[in-house]
Amino acid sequence: MDVNAITPKQGELSESKRMIMEVAAKLFADKGYGSVGISEVGDAAGFGKGALYYHIKSKEDLLFEIMTVYMIDLIEAARAIESSGKSVQERIIALSHSFMEIMFASRPEMTVCFREVHALKEERRKGVLSLHTEYQDIWMRVFQDGERKAILRPLTKIEIKAILGMYFYSFLWIKADGAAAIRSIGDSFADLTLRSTVLA
Amino acid sequence: MDVNAITPKQGELSESKRMIMEVAAKLFADKGYGSVGISEVGDAAGFGKGALYYHIKSKEDLLFEIMTVYMIDLIEAARAIESSGKSVQERIIALSHSFMEIMFASRPEMTVCFREVHALKEERRKGVLSLHTEYQDIWMRVFQDGERKAILRPLTKIEIKAILGMYFYSFLWIKADGAAAIRSIGDSFADLTLRSTVLA
């Protein structure tokens, strides 16, 4: 499935649609997807039924878009870093910062994604998982480039998944205060990653 | 809240109760807690309503016990390792193996815990979180002992939470085959942890 074909990029979303998605993500995160009716989303966002359905097709479409848009943000930021021409260490630090920034701005979306992914129909669930794979593959290519350049030790797929798990789990516990704190947490994670992978 | 006072340890659970909890954890993990009725749990476990209610008080009690029993297992195993008299490195490797064994045997329980913790009433939600803190504190004391002995560098709380997040996230993706594979994954995680924390 080409997820990009059915999920617009953040930049292409109208302000109204983006606002509806943010309101819905918060409601779904607070109350659970199953307990929130589409009219409740409309009320909270200040849209009547007609206007709401102009922006979204269905509640399941809304759920799917909430789960995919932040992943597409992560992938786009990571692709730019991958091809930035920076050193391996700088790319890992930049990936770490970009993850933390997007994660911190997308905590309701991530909560919804991790809690409700089973509520999606199979094709869409696979679509969400394929975005996660795509993101992981970018990190993997940076690690492999580090190995080729004899900067990093060779890493197994288990090790790469473990490191990325450290990042993804953070949405559950990080309660930072402001951009400087988020940047410093990104530094800490990059430091752990580099210490565990840089050749001695 | 003294969670231990209301949640029996694994060893103290009757075989029937343990079986009901396993069946319920799998049903809740597959279908979502909200979509599974208590009679469905009874049917799947082969218990009539009367027999079922002899073993469990309510569906919420069952949910709470599913979420706490594996954490109590983790805490007991970690306490034994903490006081084992082994070296700091050996304790970290043992904590890693014990996490992987219990996690792998408790994937439905962990799925339910991470997805449904918001369905608990506040006091019980705090009880679950306090078990996670208790478990994390054991790791923290081992890291601090390593620092005192000048084996490990000083770690911030953020770093310790990041490392533990790497462990907890693993239930979402590890699909190992047999005890040897689980042991080898435990080795990989311990290796990442030690590489990122041992003093050069």
**Residue range B33-53: mean pLDDT, rounded:** 92
B137 lies in some domain:
yes
Asked whether residue A18 is domain-assigned, the answer is no
pLDDT value at residue A85:
96
- Split at pLDDT 50, 70, 90, the class of B8 is low
Mean pLDDT of chain A: 92
Q: Write out the two tokens for B190.
A: 């311990």
Check A156 against B200: CB less than 8 A apart.
no
- Of chain B, the percentage scoring pLDDT greater than 70 comes to 94
Residue A84 included in any domain? yes
The predicted structure's pLDDT at residue B118: 82
A197: chain B residues, CB-CB within 8 Å: 195
pLDDT at B200 over 90: no
CATH number for the domain spanning B152: value is 1.10.357.10
pLDDT reading at A1 higher than 50: no
Query: What residues contact residue B99 under an 8 Å CB cut-off, 6+ apart?
Result: B74, B167, B186, B189
Segment A105-145, tens digit of pLDDT: 999 999 999 988 888 899 999 999 999 999 999 999 999 99
Answer yes or no: is pLDDT of B62 > 60: yes
- What are the residues whose beta carbons fall under 8 Å from the beta carbon of A56, sequence distance 6 or more? A17, A20, A62, A65
Residue B127: pLDDT above 50?
A: yes
- Over residues B128-147, the mean pLDDT reads 97
B133 in any annotated domain? yes
Give the pLDDT confidence of B70-126 residue by residue, as tens digits. Answer: 999 999 999 999 999 999 999 999 999 999 999 999 999 999 999 888 888 999 999
Q: Would you say residue A152 lies in a domain?
A: yes
Reading the block at residue B115, the tokens are: 């997805």
Q: How large is the average pLDDT for residues B17-23? A: 93
pLDDT over 80 (residue B9): no
A84-100 tens-digit pLDDT: 999 999 999 999 999 99
What is the CB neighbour count within 10 angstroms for residue A149? Answer: 11
Does B74 map to a domain? yes
Q: How many domains does chain A have?
A: 1
Mean pLDDT over each residue of chain B, to the nearest integer: 92
pLDDT band for position A7 (cuts 50, 70, 90):
low
B64: nearest Cα among B126, B134, B11: B126
User: Per the CB < 8 Å rule, is B188 touching A158?
Assistant: yes
Q: Best residue in A111, A120, A161, A166 to probe B by mutation, most B CBs within 10 Å?
A: A166
Contact state of A163 with B192 under an 8 Å Cβ cutoff: yes
Poorest-pLDDT segment among A62-71, A162-171, B3-12, B186-195: B3-12
* Average pLDDT of the residues in B190-194: 98
DSSP string, A57-105: S-HHHHHHHHHHHHHHHHHHHHHHHHTS---HHHHHHHHHHHHHHHHHH
pLDDT of residue B196 exceeding 90: yes
Are residues A119 and B195, on separate chains, in Cβ contact within 8 Å? no
Residues B144-170: pLDDT tens digits? 999 999 999 999 999 999 999 999 999
* Cβ neighbours of A191 in B, within 8 Å: 196
Structural domain that includes position B162:
65-197
| Domain-embedded: residue A185 | yes
Residue B108 lies in a domain: yes
